[in-house]
Structure 1
């Protein structure tokens, strides 16, 4: 994980407005959201896993699944997930288990981030700052 200091940190926005602005740019709400926090993820590449720019946020009024929720942005960071190739050794056995555990566990959820994408991540943050703050 590589943190990228940003003018976005601590800024508040209506979650709906952020979604309307960021989704057309290629951002998605990450699958790690909960009722009080989440993140916008931008997939930079999928070389030997997945490389993302992640922009975390936390709800400051209401819950993320409520209408009109305001969120505060955290410090953006670059993240790399490296997935196993082949069968997951830790998946539940049997046909019933396979029906619910079809995806392999990450081989390394905090894999080393490829250096060649760091400047791209920094440029993405600068672009976000200009889209949201200028």
Structure 2
């Protein structure tokens, strides 16, 4: 994980308005959200042959409302870049049939915080996306 130095920390936004705007840049609500916190995630790089994906994650806390409400007010925490390494091929356990037939769409990453090569490249890419696409739409 690489934390990014941006002006996003402490900025406020309306959840639904910002979500609708930044989804055109590939952002979606991260999978580990709760009603009082969550993150916007986007893919910076994906190599399916290696099973690796590098994400930009924008974590936030809920100030008022609940996360699934369009009018919820959120406040951002420190953004970061993270690399997930997925299992390649089938898992040989009780869920192998589900994997082979496509019923197990999501596997747990083999490494949820993998070693990131060329850190400067991903820091620049993440910070640029925050500055150009997110910061203009927060207070």
Query: Quick check: TM above 0.5?
Result: yes
4+ residue runs over 6 A deviation? 96-100
Q: TM-score, length-normalised on structure 1?
A: 0.83
Q: TM-score, length-normalised on structure 2?
A: 0.80
Structure 2 unaligned segments of length 5 or more: list them.
none
- Of the three residues 66, 75, 81, the one matched with 1:63 is 66
Alpha-carbon offset, residue 97 of structure 1: 9.8
Q: Which moved more, 1:113-122 or 1:18-27?
A: 113-122
Structure 1 unaligned segments of length 5 or more: list them.
none
Report the RMSD for the aligned CA atoms in angstroms.
2.5
Q: Which one has more relative contact order, counting CA pairs under 8 Å at least 6 apart?
A: 2
SS at match of 1:22: helix
Alpha carbons 2:11, 2:76 under 8 Å: kept: yes
Alpha-carbon offset, residue 77 of structure 1: 0.2
Map residues 1-134 of structure 1 onto 2, 5 A cutoff.
1-47=1-47, 48=50, 49-89=52-92, 91-92=93-94, 101=104, 103-115=106-118, 116-128=121-133, 130-132=135-137
Provide closer, same or farther for how the CA distance between residues 75 and 94 of structure 1 changes in structure 2, counting only shifts above 3 A.
closer
